[in-house]
Amino acid sequence: MVVYVDDLLITGSTEVIDATLKKVQARWKCSDPEWMAPEGQKPMTFCGFEIKKGPDGEVVVTQKSYAEELTRRHGIKKTRPAPMSSSLMIPEEPEDFTREQLREAQAVTGELLWLSIRSRPDLSYGLMGRMSTKNPTFVYQVGQEATSSIRSPSSSPS
């Protein structure tokens, strides 16, 4: 069982899950449980993760909804398969920047860090964290590049 604030994720055989649910429901008022559905059906959610069965019965964990929210939030229209462009040149000198530019750089770094450590280990943004207080407009540009690489079945490469 995994507990996060007031969410529970119970794994095991159907019998173990049912018995655990009965004990929990006997003690606390609970919403109806969600069950991991077969591929092609709406995934269950836990802690912002979408969990479903894959084509071979494997467990698939994504954050598709969160990734799509990031593309909407940042106005990303084009997507591409690679996380970062190799054409980005790291600035050598610190820039003059506003508090708002710093906050934007920190926000996009945090959003992508959440994805990278939760369900997108292919994203790596140590550079963004190091550069946020030195070159925040560069960091925001890196974040825009990375966010545009977040693909979903409903998006298509341009």
Range in 61-70, 71-80, 111-120, 147-156 with the lowest mean pLDDT: 147-156
Q: What is the pLDDT of residues 49-87, one digit of tens each?
A: 889 988 888 888 888 888 888 888 888 887 766 566 666
- What backbone torsions phi and psi does residue 12 show, to the nearest 5 degrees? 140, -165
Amino acid at 156: S
pTM: 0.53
Q: What pLDDT score does 156 carry?
A: 37
Residue among 82, 80, 52 at smallest CA distance from 64: 52
Asked whether the beta carbons of 57 and 114 are under 8 A apart, the reply is: no
**Both tokens of residue 67?**
């990734």
Q: What order do you get walking across the sheet with 44-46 strand by strand?
A: 44-46, 49-53, 59-62
Residue among 83, 52, 80, 81 at smallest CA distance from 65: 52
